Chain A
């Protein structure tokens, strides 16, 4: 009996690590997805093959997201990406993202208010987030033209909810974009994301 439990536990562990291994990893192909954006248009990652793409997990209610939007830091990062011909997809994950039309409209007005300029604002009811292993808002990814993940992690190097910390921090997304555009490898390809939990339906 004891042996059986042990075997079951080990199997569970193996299974879990197997599932984990199937999650997005830097250096591996980015999970493909097709979804709708807040304008009701279909968005697919494949359609941006040949360009660098930033994925940003967003939730307007989260203080860490507010830190980077109220200070203008995230919109400035989006402009920096656009100037370098990098596509920017903001992803809003929640249990009712695609079911409740209010989600899209409130996201749209919030984006306008914050002067944010993502290429598209993707609605996700959890599948995309799970595939990417997105844990926090914000959680940032950079996908290269070949569809491979070259950066995953935090927006910057100071994990806090205080906007005053932005000035003294390294913006990992800008750093990664600048490095790949200069033909270099990303010097910090994986960092520890910080923020609120992504709001998966539990």
Chain B
């Protein structure tokens, strides 16, 4: 023991000597080296071009363990504590996170830890402020680590080092380079997904650079999820790696996105993966309080699900609040305008019949809430079944869009007076009231939801992202509150007489108004046809347009007053035949392949792909991604205004930003997955990646402004080293 210490002292002394030869000042009293009972640790600097304003320099703590002693990785595993570094740097200097090199598995009886033995360097990137003009830099560090063999000792050290600013500091370049080579990287073009299947994570990794030979080691970055000591089952099938990672029986977390490291023989540095967990986690074990009487019953009722902090770190109540606000804001979105005009119409009708107004408002609210919950339930069920879907998924189906176009055509024709229905459609005038007006109101609520879903209102992105990762009951609660928010304004007008009195009186003008309302409906049909054209192509669009004409003809045959029964029969038959013929001809067209992405990737924009992002960032360029869809009005608005701004495009060019467009008009699992990683489930999403990983990607708001994008651009740091 004593020999070892003196050896270290000797090493430290000779190191100081070598520093002197390198014309560096001697360290202060605290010094760059701390020798404790079981490790020798040293503060190192690496800045081969000197410490220059606006550049990145690297600091690091090199820990040299005595044989068989170890310190821990960022996730220590079954026990232990990660090493922590607290820097003391001059104002303006900002230290990043530790760039942890790949750890080792350290088995200990039935337990497993993740950590380091022998020598390890924990490097940290530090941003030099643009205004730095000092001649030297004083670096202080307080580090704490837990070092264990059979027993554990918490140790700490205070380090101090003063280095000249102008000179190249490259004495430890080899160690920093070797550490970087032993640090995991994101494999280009690889993606992974996970599902929870009976007490294990079933993980699929696609597109790994090379089929790993030999055993893959799985390191979980997330604390409190997997059973570290259990062996992961693995299988390599057609270029896809399938892993089965057993969960800890005492799992305490349910992350929406798992972070992990894969290490295979021949690839010792390993790969980092972000693995979105599809579908809900099973509820964590929780138990109802036992009855106060000491009756030893063996079975008790299952307890409610426990709360888990969601990925987006938004608490559940906050998500509910955002959902309510987002729902209310949906009323300002252009997609819902046609339906809203009908709602206002019916409110005016009932202006002086309070009872009817209240019942109608409540029925509409019920319709909205039930539809939102049903839609969300369907989405959750489909996702649980492994489909890569997100919010707005129904509009990714050309059939659904065509159906919606037909529905709006019918409503428009009805409003224009081509035919009258028995009253299943909203907006039927009082004279032709449906037998059950409440069904009208509820149906108009369902309709409002159907058309509103493509407009992800501000605030809603985060709430929906959280919602889809929560356990099902909570997710459905969020969507129910969303519906409440959307229906709230009408409910308020219906319930509060004072608000109701602000509406105009019903009268003869309403007949004209009703016909006027047909035009927004037809305008909506045009929009839906355009979406369809984007999804499938011009043939399907024309085919569906023909079906709509046939539909209009069929409506006319029904709505025309005729004398004899026979004529009526002929009329109706003609209508049915024409409609059936048109549908028969148009049907195959809906199955057509999508239009190419070239139309989307016009001008400065290239189509998005994981590879494109990887290539751009490997070349040290920042990346801006526009997640968009033809059926998303907000996306289209932003695309044509903000993202077309000449000055902004110039700024992008000046900073070498690669512009990528991810088009989600049709289903695309890769895009769905990328959205999930960003904690979102719908479009629009705008994200700006810096040129390197020294800062997290910036996700901008859905209500995009030029200033906002420019501010985000201003925050990008230049590439390190």
Contact = CB atoms under 8 A, between A and B. Distances in A.
Interface of A: 6, 9-14, 16-17, 19-21, 23-29, 49-52, 61-64, 126, 130, 133, 135-136, 144-150, 152-153, 159-162, 179-180, 183-202
B109 A200 contact: yes
Given A17-B230, A51-B294, A63 B300 contact: no
A13 B244 contact: yes
B235 interface: yes
Nearest to A59: B151
A184 B252 CA distance: 20
B152 A153 contact: no
Nearest to A162: B154
20 contacts: A6-B235, A9-B234, A20-B249, A27-B286, A49-B294, A50-B294, A61-B151, A135-B78, A149-B285, A162-B154, A180-B289, A185-B286, A185-B303, A185-B304, A187-B306, A189-B287, A190-B306, A192-B224, A199-B150, A200-B109
A49 B296 contact: yes
B290 interface: yes
B109 A201 contact: yes
B42 interface: no
Contacts of B224: 190-192
B286 A148 contact: no
A192 B287 contact: no
B227 interface: yes
A196 B78 CA distance: 9
Nearest to A19: B230
Contacts of A28: 285
B185 to A, nearest CB: 26
B164 to A, nearest CB: 36
Nearest to A67: B154
Contact of A146 (B151, B247, B298): B298
A190 B139 CA distance: 41
A196 B79 contact: yes
A199 B288 CA distance: 33
Contact of A20 (B230, B285, B287): B230
Contacts of A61: 151
Contacts of A135: 78-79, 111
Contacts of B174: none
A190 B113 contact: no
B262 to A, nearest CB: 15
Contacts of A149: 285, 287
B79 A133 contact: no
Contacts of B296: 49-50, 145-147
Contacts of A62: 151-152
Given A26-B285, A186-B287, 9 more contacts: A20-B246, A24-B250, A26-B250, A145-B291, A146-B296, A146-B297, A161-B154, A185-B304, A190-B286
Given A196-B148, A197-B108, A144 B287 contact: yes
Contact of A196 (B151, B231, B252, B253): B151
Contacts of B108: 197, 200, 202
A6 B215 CA distance: 10
B228 to A, nearest CB: 9
B600 interface: no
Interface string B225-256: 00100111111100000001011111111000
Contacts of B236: 6
Nearest to B230: A16
Majority-rule SS of A interface residues: loop
A111 B148 CA distance: 24
A51 to B, nearest CB: 7
B249 A24 contact: yes
Nearest to A12: B231
B616 interface: no
Interface in B251-269: 251-253
Given A190-B251, A190-B284, A200-B111, A17 B303 contact: no
B153 interface: yes
B199 interface: yes
A6 to B, nearest CB: 5
Contacts of A179: 289
Contacts of A63: 146, 152-154
A196 B152 contact: yes
A25 to B, nearest CB: 5
A164 to B, nearest CB: 12
B430 interface: no
A62 B249 CA distance: 25
A142 to B, nearest CB: 9
Nearest to B248: A20
B569 to A, nearest CB: 66
A27 B297 CA distance: 14
B298 A29 contact: yes
B561 interface: no
B109 A23 contact: no
Interface in B78-112: 78-81, 107-111
Nearest to B283: A27
A201 B218 CA distance: 25
A146 B287 CA distance: 11
B646 interface: no
Contacts of B252: 153, 190-192
A148 B287 contact: yes
Contacts of A197: 78-80, 108-109, 111, 113, 148, 152
A202 B109 contact: yes
B285 A189 contact: yes
B447 interface: no
A201 B284 CA distance: 31
A185 B244 contact: no
B223 interface: yes
Q: Which of A51, A179, A183 is most buried by chain B, counting CB atoms within 10 A of its CB?
A: A183
Contacts of B247: 17, 20
A135 B250 CA distance: 10
Nearest to B229: A16
Nearest to B75: A192
B227 A17 contact: yes
A180 B290 contact: yes
Contacts of B297: 146
